[in-house]
Amino acid sequence: MIKIDDVKLNLLEPKEHPERNKNFMLVFASDNKNICMAFNWAIESILKREGLSPYHHTEKELVKQHEPGLHEWEIREEGRKEHLEKLVAEIEERAKETADIFDHFGAEIE
């Protein structure tokens, strides 16, 4: 059984330091590939729908973008914190639904 509830999606505030992120970031970590995929799909689709130009900070090949570990998504358009917090709740729900489908069918992404 996938334990998606153990994963916390964090909304990080922009930093003013030039070497730090200047935009809001969504960050999560998981040691399960299906959970990483579920969160990545949810984050990308919902942020794109909202016109927030999400950028997945990963140096991995496209086929390995859902590998377990730390995942950071930059929100490259301006957004209000209150609105982004509501989107976090929606993203978590969508990720849980996707992971539940994979779990129900015993599927695992390759």
What confidence tens digit (pLDDT) does each residue in 42-54 have? Answer: 999 999 999 999 9
Residue 110 reports pLDDT greater than 60: no
Confidence of residue 5 (pLDDT cuts 50, 70, 90): confident
pTM of the predicted model as reported, rounded to 2 decimal places: 0.87
In eight-state DSSP terms, residue 97 is H
Number of residues assigned to the chain: 110
| CA distances for 24 relative to 32, 35, 64, angstroms | 25, 22, 24
Closest CA to 44 of 58, 61, 30, 60: 58
Average pLDDT, integer, range 9-37: 85
Distance CA 64, CA 56 (A): 12
The pLDDT of residue 64: 76
